[in-house]
Copies of this chain bind each other. A is one copy, B any other.
Amino acid sequence: MSGEDNLLRLVEADEPDENNYHLQDQVGFILRKAHQRHVSIFATHIDDLTPPQFAALAKLYDIGETSQNQLGTLIAMDAATVKGVIDRLKARGLVELSKHEVDKRRLLVNLTPEGREAIERLIPLARTITGETLAPLTAKEAATFLRLLAKLA
């Protein structure tokens, strides 16, 4: 093996790159931490509902009755996950289920009066939560961040 080969191996070797790998610089790791922080802030303001449960109620409040599957698509949850969320909201009387008259496969979900009251009460808190989550940024930075984040999501 020549000296040039050794030089080449050093330059192209995996080791230097591997030593330079730092988890805290990876977008996935920071994304996970930012999400964790948001969920934590959410819990300090709304302690009787999780973010996914809130999302389900907010979406139903926005669009009205829909199928469980369609709701899942709108709030980015797969069928198995949305079922659990809806089950728990139903157990608490915040949503009610009914069968679709025409398409017998579908399970319709809608807010109960209690669910409507709950989401109307919580939406102002959700605005506070959003504000607190973005608090480390200036208004301009927050706008930029949301724009770029949306491109990634």
Which positions in A face B, CB cutoff 8 Å? 14, 17-18, 21-23, 25-39, 42, 51, 55, 58-59, 61-62, 75-76, 120, 123-124, 126-127, 129-130, 133-134, 136-137, 141, 144-146, 148-153
A38 touches B34 (CB 8 A): no
A18 touches B144 (CB 8 A): no
Number of copies: 2
Look across to chain B and name the residue whose beta carbon is closest to the beta carbon of A116: B18
24 A-B pairs in the complex with CB atoms less than 8 angstroms apart: A14-B124, A17-B123, A17-B127, A18-B120, A18-B123, A21-B123, A21-B126, A21-B127, A23-B55, A25-B146, A26-B126, A27-B130, A28-B39, A28-B42, A28-B129, A28-B130, A29-B51, A29-B55, A31-B34, A35-B35, A136-B152, A144-B144, A145-B152, A148-B148
Provide the residues of chain B in CB contact with A75, threshold 8 Å: 23, 29
> Bound complex: CA of A25 vs CA of B38, how far in Å?
15
B31 touches A38 (CB 8 A): yes
Look across to chain B and name the residue whose beta carbon is closest to the beta carbon of A29: B55
> Bound complex: CA of A126 vs CA of B98, how far in Å?
45
> Bound complex: CA of A148 vs CA of B140, how far in Å?
11
